Amino acid sequence: MINLGKFPVLGVNVDAVDYDFAVRKIVDAAERKCACAVSALAAHGVMTGFMDSLHLRRLNGLDLVVPDGQSVRWALWWLFKKSLPDRVYGPNLTLRVAQAFSERGLSVYLYGSKPETLSKLSQNLKQRFPSLKIAGMEPSKFRKLTDDERIQLAERIKASGANAVFLGLGCPRQEVWAYEYRNILNIPILAVGAAFDFHAGTLSPTPKWMQDFGLEWLYRTIQEPKRLWRRFLILNTLFVLNVSLQYLGLIKPASIMPNGEEKIESYG
């Protein structure tokens, strides 16, 4: 179990941890019914915080930000000499947490994506982990929620008795949601994005060799070019450039922390 601490990659405090530590932290919070907002960030996710100080506050208000992308894992080594055996990939983390929950009789609420994706996801999770309890599931409305809708959503999740929420709204919307609902729900919230589509079978996962070489962005861009080319080609390039500038000491991004004054406009 590895926990080397938090380190500011372009101002975003990334946790240099392994899967075992992340799963243990989430399970402990689920068993104790206490808040634990988790995001698995790749390079473009880090850039959303670097380019937006308000969102940076939100990201740094989460309990656990794991290095989802190989480039983020490499940045931890390059900038801080913190070596990890592997990244903490959101889809893999989802399965490891689901397995731990099934072994401990804990339940999960699935929120986000489309109804057909949720249906396939829940079926596949139950097939893989027969003892996993799915307390409820609800698709995204693909728009900002009203105040009443946010309250009602939180009440439905609480009433389900779920020990955690698996959240699939996409970056950065899911991190905004996790930040907002963290203290309302007081259970772990895992912002895992594309894990919903991968485990539902609606998107094919990146081949392992491409993942190992940090080429998942290329495979995903080929899968969804219209939606993702700007995100990966532009933001990934900016990530490499700015991490290089941080390494050379030419920029010193501030790790802005929440101050309780952020205007929340969560997406559901």
Digit-coded pLDDT (tens) for 123-142: 999 999 999 999 999 999 98
Place 80 in a pLDDT band, splitting at 50, 70 and 90.
very high
Computed over its alpha carbons, how large is the radius of gyration of the chain?
17
Say what the pLDDT of residue 203 is: 77
Contact 91, 192 (CB under 8 A): yes
Average pLDDT over residues 70-82: 97
Say what the pLDDT of residue 63 is: 98
Say what the pLDDT of residue 218 is: 76
Binning the chain into helix, strand and coil, the percentages to the nearest 5 are 50, 15, 30
Residue 248 CA neighbour count, 13 Å, CB half: 7
Which of 43-47, 191-195, 206-210 is least confident?
Answer: 206-210
Number of H helices, E strands in the chain: 13, 8
Place 262 in a pLDDT band, splitting at 50, 70 and 90.
low
- What's the length of the chain? 268
Say what the pLDDT of residue 96 is: 98
Q: Are strands 107-112 and 133-138 parallel, antiparallel or unpaired?
A: parallel
> In this structure, what are the phi and psi dihedrals at residue 199, rounded to the nearest 5 degrees?
-80, -15
Does 252 score more than 70 pLDDT?
yes
Place 100 in a pLDDT band, splitting at 50, 70 and 90.
very high
Contact 153, 139 (CB under 8 A): no
Question: For the packed helices 90-104 and 19-32, what is the interaxial angle rounded to 10 degrees?
Answer: 50
Q: Which residues pair with 167 in a beta bridge?
A: 111, 191
pTM of the model: 0.91
Q: Are strands 64-67 and 36-41 parallel, antiparallel or unpaired?
A: parallel
Q: Rounded to whole angstroms, how far apart are CA atoms 164 and 187?
A: 5
Say what the pLDDT of residue 207 is: 83
Does 205 score more than 90 pLDDT?
no
Does 55 score more than 90 pLDDT?
yes
Say what the pLDDT of residue 155 is: 97
Query: What single-letter amino acid sits at 74?
Result: W
